[in-house]
Copies of this chain bind each other. A is one copy, B any other.
Amino acid sequence: MEMTKPVASFDPHVIERPLSTVDVVIFSVIDERLHVLLVLRPETMDEPFKGMRALPGGFVDVQKDLDLESCARRKLQEKTGVKSPYLEQVGSWGGIKRDPRGWSATHVYFSLIPAPESPSDGTPNSDVKWFPIANQRVGTKLAFDHAKLLEAAIQRLRNKVEYTSLPAYLLPEEFTLTDLQHMYEVVLERPIEKSAFRTRVFAANLVEPIDKVRAGANRPAQLYRLTQPKAIVYFPRTFSPRKI
C-alpha cells in the first residue's frame, strides 16, 4: 500500500488531496519602471501551459521544505540568488479549475529586491526574465491564473506602499532620500511632494544618515540607511488622503 509515499495512509476516510504549490511574485524597479520576474514553463510533454510565461513557483516539496515560507525562499533563491529579500505572503488561491491536473491550491508570496546588476539578466529569451508592469498588468499572457495572482500582488504592494516603508527594500542598503522618494513615485505612479515626504520619513525615524554623501554635478546628497532594516514602518496616514 505505501511504497514510497504513505500519503493517504493516516486518515481513515482516505480523502483525495489537492495539489499544493507556492508561487512568488518578485518585484524590482528597473529603469524607472516596476518589473516582475517571470519564468518559462517547461516544454515537457505532460506539463500544462507549455512554453508560456509564469510566476516562479512549483510544488511544495515535503522532503525539502520545512514550511511554506522556506519553500518560497528556496524558489526565490533559485531564480535570483538574492539571499534575504523582503518576503510577504499575499494569500492563497485554490479551486478545481485553476490547474488542468486537478484541484490545486497555491500559496502566493511577493518579494521586493534591489535592481539587479545586469538589467535583463543576459539573453533576452532566457528562462527567467524581467517584465515591466503597465497599469496592473504585464504585457504577456500568463499560465494558470497567474495574471490574477500578479494583479493581487500588485494591488497589495500599491496599497501597502501608501502607508509603509516597503519601497526601501527596492533599494540597496545605502540610498539618498531622493532615491527613496523615487521608489514611492514609481510604484504609486504619481509624484509626491518632496518636503512632506522628508518630514514624514524623519518623523517615523525610518532612516539614519551615514557618514557618506553621493557626489554629482551638483550639491552632494546625504546617504542614509534604514534605522531598523528588519522592521517595516507604518505611517499614520496614507500619502494621499484626499484621493481615497
Contact = CB atoms under 8 A, between A and B. Distances in A.
Interface of A: 4-8, 10-12, 14-20, 46, 59-63, 65-68, 89, 91-97, 101-103, 105, 107, 234, 236-238, 241-242, 244
Query: 7 closest pairs, A vs B, by CB?
Result: A67-B95, A236-B241, A62-B103, A68-B94, A17-B17, A92-B92, A10-B101
- Interface of chain A, helix or strand or loop or mixed? loop
A96 B60 CA distance: 11
B5 A61 contact: no
A16 B5 contact: yes
A191 to B, nearest CB: 19
A6 B15 CA distance: 11
Contacts of A14: 4-5
A18 to B, nearest CB: 5
What is the total number of copies of this protein in its complex? 2
Contacts of A101: 10-11
Contacts of A4: 14
Given A89-B92, A101-B10, A59 B15 contact: yes
Contact of A103 (B15, B60, B242): B60
29 contacts: A4-B14, A5-B8, A6-B16, A7-B7, A7-B16, A7-B17, A10-B46, A11-B19, A11-B59, A12-B46, A17-B17, A17-B18, A17-B20, A18-B20, A20-B20, A60-B94, A60-B103, A66-B95, A66-B97, A67-B93, A67-B94, A67-B96, A67-B97, A68-B95, A91-B91, A91-B92, A94-B107, A234-B244, A237-B238
